[in-house]
């Protein structure tokens, strides 16, 4: 007897004497054999072993306990002879015989069982198998109990398979892997799955039991006998099905079907397969139904991704997202197609010549486009960050394709602040401004935007045409947060000037004792650096004005020493009281230039363009525009023109239009509203921007070189670009030119040996 580490009983407890006799062993074995047979036979008689077990829990230790149990449930066993015999045999080293006898007996029984299963017809096959399996398990349990001592002593020491496991292995080898049963079992199971997939109801409980049996026999049995084939058959099934669907369904329907199948499989696993199969079968479905047809689906004509996007099909898009997410590169495909489409749409939008006529509409469409895709990403793509980023980069790409985007965005803001946001609540104003900021962030040329914004703001402030000071300031704060103090300091300066001017006017009128008949003057004093500079040649103001203008100048220079004032006659407005032919009086709101022109007609009935030019000193181009606005616009034609053409020639003659009528008392003719620039103006602005950039680039280069002392060319370009990127994207050629200029002026030098290296010269 092998030495055992754990002894759970004392040999001394046995009072029986032990006899070592081969014949005894034989006899003993016969008894045991008979017992095993009985167990199997009693299986057939359907004894309820559960009842027998119910009285006491099974203590597992000790042969005595075992004997006790055997007494309880084997009434035909007159005494504990059986177990005692077993014990004996082991004890006397006949364990080998016992064991091999066990194997033989069990095997022969199982062969019988196997045959009975093989001969089962049709539907009965699985049921029979199931039943016999259940019985076998019960029998096995009992046999194990009887032979428990052997299980715990002889078997470990002789490295044999324990009883329970032996029983399972034999079942597997004899019954399951019998040549007739193995394939039949597999095919039957697969057949049932197929029928269920085709809509039939099958016996899930039975399936579950059979599958569990395979699991109990070992994971490799489950996998080799069932799962492997299940997966490959499923792959075929879904391959064919997906092909059929692709040919007959549109994208949305297909996705619905795919989703349904996926859910079905998951549910199938939960009901009667091993949980570990779930991932494998879902992979199969994903591969066959989604992965194989990804591109076909996405690009499907009339129903693919692009159509879904255009038609805002949130549900379909959501389904596509959640399905494609399951396959590698699925979402990348979706994202790429979406990105390309957005870029394309955006590009068409910004390059369309029709759209370029109306800047406000242009920007509104951009905002609408963004809103649309924001909603799609929110509703259907679970706010996926990579999609959000792709959308942003698309916008950044196409907005900058149109060099006039910065100007247009400023015009949009101008329109909103001038009238668009009239009567809109504070919160909603903020929403609009935030959206504008979002577009602003996409701009590469933020300095261009700044230039236009300044111009438009100046016009708004000077004409008093802003709907809300708060809204104006709110936007400036947002710009400051985004771009820093430098960006907005001048803008804030403009606001300050307006306020200061107001105070100055108060002071001026307080100081004038006698106002008399002179026209009332409102002066805005603008600090030159803060306001958009436009060279303004002096035009000749009407004599009626000269007096009060001089008074103001004297007053102002009296209180502010050392300053210089120059009238900006291209930026002012005037209100004129005019009386026409039939005595109808109107108040005309005009620009300063227009005022100069009109006042001439107090002293002359007719004047040619040339004469007006000479008298007023207004630059010809501006004058022509001015005259057009006074004579060629219906409802505002306070002047009459001969000939009546729209173009102004030098010899054209102008008359005061006696017959002018308007249903409004106040008539607005001023042309101070911000408009999109003409081509030549645009070119000029661009040139000014380019000129402004040069010193900024140089300053950046000097800053960098001062701290780094020596640096190579590529790094300088990279650093400069990085430093300036919040304002504009510098052209590397321009940077190079600036470096050369700095070399010439001896701020930097080029290294003698390494041409690419520059050095800062203190």
Partner 1 sequence: MPRPKRKAAVPTRSSDADSSARPEPKKPRGNQFNRIDQLFESYVNKTLGLIDPEGIEALCNDVNVNHTDVRMLIFAWKMKAEKQGYFSKDEWRRGLKCLGADTRPKLKKAIEGLDKELKVPECFEDFYSYAFQYCLTEEKQRSVDIETICELLNIVLKSEFPNQVNLLVEYLKVQNDYRALNMDQWRSFYRFFKEVDFHDLENYDSSQAWTVIIDNFVEWLKEKEKN
Of the candidate spans 6-14, 104-112, 282-290, 748-756, the one that interacts with partner 1 by CB under 8 A turns out to be 748-756
Say if residues 716 and 705 touch (Cβ distance below 8 Å): yes
**Cβ 731 to partner 1 shortest distance, Å:** 11
Does 712 help bind partner 1 (rule: CB under 8 A)?
yes
Tell me the sheet residues that pair with 314: none
Does 30 help bind partner 1 (rule: CB under 8 A)?
no
Closer to partner 1 by Cβ: residue 332 or 714: 714
Which run of H or E residues covers position 655? Answer: strand 653-656
Q: Determine which residue in the list 420, 713, 721, 723 makes contact with partner 1, applying CB under 8 A.
A: 713
Does 691 help bind partner 1 (rule: CB under 8 A)?
no
Does 714 help bind partner 1 (rule: CB under 8 A)?
yes
- Crossing angle between the packed helical segments 124-146 and 179-197, to the nearest 10 degrees: 120
Does 684 help bind partner 1 (rule: CB under 8 A)?
no
Does 732 help bind partner 1 (rule: CB under 8 A)?
yes
**d(Cα 229, Cα 186) in Å, to the nearest integer?**
8
**Cβ 697 to partner 1 shortest distance, Å:** 14
* E strands, 59-161, in order: none
**d(Cα 706, Cα 540) in Å, to the nearest integer?**
51
Q: Determine which residue in the list 750, 759, 760, 761 makes contact with partner 1, applying CB under 8 A.
A: 750
Does 737 help bind partner 1 (rule: CB under 8 A)?
yes
Does 318 help bind partner 1 (rule: CB under 8 A)?
no
CB atoms within 10 A of CB 349: 18
Does 755 help bind partner 1 (rule: CB under 8 A)?
yes
**Cβ 754 to partner 1 shortest distance, Å:** 9
Closer to partner 1 by Cβ: residue 237 or 758: 758
Of the candidate spans 22-30, 513-521, 596-604, 729-737, the one that interacts with partner 1 by CB under 8 A turns out to be 729-737
Q: What are phi and psi of 649, to 5 degrees?
A: -105, 160
Which of 135, 144, 162, 136 is closest to 83 using CA atoms?
A: 144
Closer to partner 1 by Cβ: residue 376 or 704: 704
Closer to partner 1 by Cβ: residue 587 or 754: 754
**d(Cα 466, Cα 468) in Å, to the nearest integer?**
6
Does 299 help bind partner 1 (rule: CB under 8 A)?
no
- Residue for token pair 């106040």: 666
Q: Is 433 exposed, middle or buried (0-12, 13-18, 19+ CB in 10 A)?
A: buried
**Cβ 749 to partner 1 shortest distance, Å:** 9
Task: Please state, in angstroms and as integers, the Cα–Cα distance from residue 743 to each residue in 84, 652, 714, following that order.
Answer: 110, 56, 16
**d(Cα 734, Cα 405) in Å, to the nearest integer?**
22
Closer to partner 1 by Cβ: residue 12 or 744: 744
Task: Please state, in angstroms and as integers, the Cα–Cα distance from residue 464 to each residue in 89, 113, 400, 683, following that order.
Answer: 116, 103, 32, 29
Closer to partner 1 by Cβ: residue 281 or 717: 717
How many CA atoms does the CB half-sphere of 383 hold within 13 Å? 0
Kindly determine how many residues on this chain lie close enough to bind partner 1 according to the rule CB under 8 A: 15
Of the candidate spans 33-41, 61-69, 209-217, 742-750, the one that interacts with partner 1 by CB under 8 A turns out to be 742-750
Q: Is 659 exposed, middle or buried (0-12, 13-18, 19+ CB in 10 A)?
A: exposed
Does 743 help bind partner 1 (rule: CB under 8 A)?
yes
**Cβ 757 to partner 1 shortest distance, Å:** 8
Closer to partner 1 by Cβ: residue 714 or 725: 714
**Cβ 699 to partner 1 shortest distance, Å:** 20
Q: Determine which residue in the list 736, 759, 760, 761 makes contact with partner 1, applying CB under 8 A.
A: 736
For 273-354, where are the alpha helices, taking DSSP H only?
277-285, 294-298, 305-310, 314-324, 330-351
Does 397 help bind partner 1 (rule: CB under 8 A)?
no
**3-class DSSP assignment, residue 16:** coil
Closer to partner 1 by Cβ: residue 373 or 760: 760
CB atoms within 10 A of CB 500: 14
Q: What are phi and psi of 91, to 5 degrees?
A: -55, -40
Does 708 help bind partner 1 (rule: CB under 8 A)?
no
**Cβ 698 to partner 1 shortest distance, Å:** 15
Does 722 help bind partner 1 (rule: CB under 8 A)?
no
Site for partner 1 in 442-501 (CB under 8 A): none
**d(Cα 406, Cα 699) in Å, to the nearest integer?**
24
Q: Determine which residue in the list 340, 645, 756, 761 makes contact with partner 1, applying CB under 8 A.
A: 756
**Cβ 325 to partner 1 shortest distance, Å:** 41
Instruction: Point out which residues bind partner 1 (CB under 8 A).
Output: 712-714, 717, 732-733, 736-737, 740, 743-745, 750, 755-756
């Amino acid at each position: 007897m092998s030495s055992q580490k754990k002894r759970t009983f004392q040999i001394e407890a046995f009072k029986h004497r032990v006899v070592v006799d081969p014949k005894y062993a034989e006899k003993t074995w016969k008894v045991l054999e008979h017992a095993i047979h009985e167990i199997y036979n009693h299986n057939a008689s359907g004894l309820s072993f559960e009842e027998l077990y119910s009285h006491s829990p099974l203590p597992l230790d000790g042969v005595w306990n075992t004997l006790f149990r055997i007494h309880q449930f084997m009434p035909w066993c007159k005494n504990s002879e059986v177990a005692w015999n077993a014990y004996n045999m082991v004890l006397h080293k006949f364990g080998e015989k016992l064991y091999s006898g066990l194997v033989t007996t069990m095997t022969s029984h199982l062969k019988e069982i196997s045959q009975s299963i093989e001969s089962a017809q049709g539907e009965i096959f699985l049921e029979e198998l199931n039943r016999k399996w259940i019985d076998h398990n019960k029998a096995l349990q009992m046999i194990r109990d009887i032979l428990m001592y052997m299980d715990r002593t002889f078997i470990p020491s002789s490295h044999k398979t324990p009883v329970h496991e032996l029983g399972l292995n034999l079942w597997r080898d004899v019954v399951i892997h019998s040549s007739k049963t193995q394939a039949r079992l597999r095919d039957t199971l697969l057949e049932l799955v197929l029928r269920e997939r085709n809509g039939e109801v099958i016996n899930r409980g039975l399936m579950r039991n059979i599958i569990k049996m395979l699991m109990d026999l070992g994971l490799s049995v489950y996998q080799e006998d069932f799962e492997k084939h299940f997966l490959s058959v499923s792959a075929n099934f879904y391959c064919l099905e997906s092909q059929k669907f692709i040919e007959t369904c549109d994208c949305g329907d297909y996705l619905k079907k795919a989703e349904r199948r996926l859910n079905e499989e998951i549910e199938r696993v939960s009901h009667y397969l091993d949980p570990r199969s779930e991932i494998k079968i879902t992979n199969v479905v994903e591969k066959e139904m989604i992965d194989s047809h990804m591109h076909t689906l996405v690009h499907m004509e009339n129903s693919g991704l692009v159509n879904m996007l255009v038609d805002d099909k949130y549900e379909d898009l959501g389904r596509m997202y959640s399905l494609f997410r399951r396959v590698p590169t699925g979402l990348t495909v979706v994202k790429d197609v979406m990105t390309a489409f957005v870029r394309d749409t955006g590009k068409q939008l910004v390059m369309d010549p029709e759209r370029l006529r109306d800047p406000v509409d242009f920007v509104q469409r951009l905002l609408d486009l963004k809103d649309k895709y924001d909603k799609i990403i929110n509703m259907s793509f679970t706010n996926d960050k990579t999609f959000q980023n792709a959308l942003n980069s698309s916008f950044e790409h196409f907005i900058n394709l149109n060099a006039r985007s910065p100007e247009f965005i400023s015009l949009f803001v101008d329109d909103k602040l001038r009238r668009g946001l009239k009567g809109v609540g504070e919160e909603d104003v903020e929403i609009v401004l935030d959206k504008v900021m979002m577009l602003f962030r996409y701009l590469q040329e933020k300095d261009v935007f700044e230039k236009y914004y300044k111009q438009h703001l100046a016009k708004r402030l000077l004409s008093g045409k802003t709907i809300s000071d708060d809204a104006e300031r709110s936007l400036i704060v947002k710009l400051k947060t985004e771009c820093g103090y430098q960006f907005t300091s001048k803008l804030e300066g403009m606001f300050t000037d307006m306020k200061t001017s107001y105070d100055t006017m108060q002071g001026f009128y307080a100081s004038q004792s006698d106002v008399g008949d002179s026209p009332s003057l409102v002066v805005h004093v603008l600090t030159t650096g803060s306001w958009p500079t436009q060279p303004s040649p002096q035009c000749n103001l009407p004599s009626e004005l000269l007096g009060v203008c001089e008074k103001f100048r004297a007053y102002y220079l009296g209180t502010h020493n050392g300053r210089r004032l120059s009238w900006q006659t291209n930026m002012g407005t005037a209100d004129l009281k005019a009386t026409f032919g039939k005595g109808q009086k109107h108040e005309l709101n005009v620009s300063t230039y227009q005022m100069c022109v009109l006042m001439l007609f107090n002293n002359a009935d007719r004047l040619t363009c040339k004469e007006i030019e000479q008298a007023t000193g207004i630059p010809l181009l501006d004058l022509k525009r001015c005259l057009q606005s006074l004579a060629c616009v219906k409802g505002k034609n306070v002047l009459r023109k001969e000939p009546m053409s729209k173009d102004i020639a030098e010899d054209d003659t102008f008359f005061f239009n006696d017959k002018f009528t308007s249903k409004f008392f106040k008539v607005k003719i001023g042309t101070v509203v911000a408009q999109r620039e003409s081509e030549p103006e645009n070119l000029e602005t661009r040139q000014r921007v380019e000129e402004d950039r040069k010193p900024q680039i140089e300053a950046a280069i000097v800053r960098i070189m001062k701290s780094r002392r020596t640096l190579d060319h590529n790094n300088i370009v990279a650093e400069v670009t990085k430093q300036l990127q919040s304002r504009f994207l510098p052209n590397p050629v321009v940077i190079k030119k600036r470096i050369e200029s700095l070399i010439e002026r001896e701020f930097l030098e080029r290294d003698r040996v390494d041409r690419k290296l520059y050095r800062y010269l203190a």
